[in-house]
Structure 1
Amino acid sequence: TKYSQIFEKYKPDENNLLPISDIENDLYTFVFSNLKKVIKSKTKGTERKELMELFTVINDYNNFSRVLRLKKYYNLTPEQIKNNLLYPFSSISEKTLDRMCRAESSGEVFSVMQETHTGKMIEQIGYVYASDISPRVKYKLARKNMYFSNNPSVVMISYMFVAETELMNIITLIEGTRYKLDSKKIQSLLIV
Structure 2
Amino acid sequence: MGTASNAAMATKAKAMFGKRLTALDYQQLLQKKSIPEIASYLKNETLFREALEGYSETGLHRGQLEMLIRRDLGTRLSRLLRYASTSGDKFYRYGIMMSEVEQIMACIRAFNDEDNYKMIGELPLYIEKSTSFDIRALAQVRDFSALLEVLAKTPYADLIRPFSVTNMEDFDYTACESVLRKYFYDQVMKIVDQEFSGKVKKEIREIFLTQIELDNITRIYRSKRYFNATPAQIKKVINPVYLRIPKRELEDMIDHCNAEEFMERLARSAYHNYLDSSNFAYIEYHAQSINYNLNKRHMMFSTNPDIVLIAYLVLSETEIQNVVDIIEGVRYGIPADKINRLLIY
| TM-score, shorter chain, exceeding 0.5 | yes
Which residue number corresponds to residue 90 of structure 1? 242
In 2: Cα distance, 1:164 partner to 1:98 partner: 30
Aligned to 2:264: 111
Kindly provide the CA deviation profile for residues 32-73 of structure 1, in whole angstroms up to 9, marking residues without a partner as x. Answer: 221111111112222211111111112111111111100111
The structure having more radius of gyration, on CA atoms, is 2
Number of residue equivalences: 185
The 5-angstrom pairing of residues 1-192 of structure 1 reads 1-7=154-160, 10=162, 26-87=179-240, 89-91=241-243, 92-123=245-276, 128-192=281-345
> In structure 2, how many angstroms separate the alpha carbons of the residues matched to 1:154 and 1:65?
24
Contact 2:163 2:176 in 1 (8 A): no
Counterpart Cα distance in 2 of 1:184 and 1:18: 33
The amino acid that maps onto 2:242 is S
CA distance in 1, matches of 2:326, 2:179: 34
In structure 1, C-alpha distance between the alignment counterparts of 2:272 and 2:191, rounded to whole Å:
27
Query: Compared with structure 1, are the counterparts of its residues 139 and 97 closer, same or farther at alpha carbon in structure 2 (3 Å cutoff)?
Result: same
Q: Per-residue deviation at 1:152?
A: 0.6
SS at match of 1:180: coil
Shift of 1:171: 1.7
**What TM-score, normalized by structure 1, do the two folds share?**
0.82
Change (3 A) 1:174 1:43: same
Distance of 1:157 and 1:108 partners within structure 2: 33
1:96·1:112 contact (CA, 8 Å) conserved in 2? no
Root mean square deviation of aligned Cα? 2.6
Q: Closer, same or farther in 2 for the Cα pair 1:53/1:119, shift >3 Å?
A: farther
Q: Identify which of structures 1 and 2 has the higher relative contact order when contacts are C-alpha pairs closer than 8 Å and 6+ apart.
A: 2
* 1:50 partner letter: E
Deviation per CA, 1:97-155: give whole Å up to 9, x if none. 211212332222123323432454324xx762122111111111111110111211111
TM-score scaled to structure 2, two decimals? Answer: 0.48
**Percent sequence identity over aligned pairs:** 27
> Measured at CA, do residues 96 and 21 of structure 1 come closer, stay the same or move farther in structure 2, by a change above 3 Å?
farther
In the alignment, residue 275 of structure 2 is paired with which amino acid? I
Contact 1:136 1:191 in 2 (8 A): yes
Instruction: Give the whole-Å Cα distance in 1 for the aligned partners of 2:319 and 2:180.
Output: 26
Unaligned runs of at least 5 residues, structure 1: none
Distance 1:84 1:144, change over 3 A: same
Task: Structure 2 unaligned segments of length 5 or more: list them.
Answer: 1-153, 165-169
* Structure 1 pair 185–29 and aligned structure 2 pair: CA distance change class (3 A): closer
Contact 2:213/2:242 (<8 A) preserved: yes
Residues 11/157 of structure 1: CA separation in 2 closer, same or farther (3 Å cut): closer
Matched letter for residue 51 of structure 1: I
In structure 2, the CA distance between the partners of 1:6 and 1:178, relative to structure 1 (3 Å rule), is closer
1:76-98 deviations in Å (ceiling 9; x for gaps)? 111111111101x3313321221
Distance 1:29 1:165, change over 3 A: closer
